[in-house]
Amino acid sequence: MNRLRQDPVYLKFLKDLRPMLVSRDNQICLEFAFWKSRPPVDLGGIYEMRTYVLKPGNLLEWETNWRRGLECRRQFCEPVGAWFSQLGKLNCVHHMWNYPDLDARKKTREQAWKVDGWAETVYNTVRLIEQMEANILLPMDFSSLK
């Protein structure tokens, strides 16, 4: 941050950006040990970032259940990664998936319901969640995820 405060390009960027901002959040997150992020690759398509705000004290139980559930989903789609918050808004879990398009996302999610163990994962984790959010992301031209 100290270096950024002295960078004229960054300072101009902030000056131009600030009038357009309504709000901003920052988090420092750690990767789940059981769900290693894969290196960025150029797969094209879209990304889905799912975010859950867990009820306080439920991260370990969520992780235990998702450890099993990940294997159900991995049969149809390789995850990009998953992280949990350490600073900023706490009790947040994020996970990201890559799909060729929205139709492939829909089919993948439908296929998971046919796998033994997926419904149990959803049942066991949904009760731990206060808030859920799903966002479709498109990588920018400079992104290593494009």
Residue ranges covered by each domain of the chain: 26-137
The whole-angstrom separation of Cα 67 and Cα 35 is 8
In what order do the strands lie in the sheet containing 79-87? 28-31, 79-87, 92-99, 46-54, 129-137
Question: Check: CATH 1.10.1200.30 for 26-137?
Answer: no
pLDDT the model gives residue 55: 97
pLDDT the model gives residue 30: 94
Question: Which stretches of the chain drop beneath a pLDDT of 50?
Answer: none
pLDDT the model gives residue 38: 77
SS3 for 109?
Answer: helix
Angle, helices 118-126 vs 59-74, to 10°: value is 160
- CA distances (Å), origin 19, targets 9, 22, 140: 17, 8, 22
pLDDT the model gives residue 40: 65
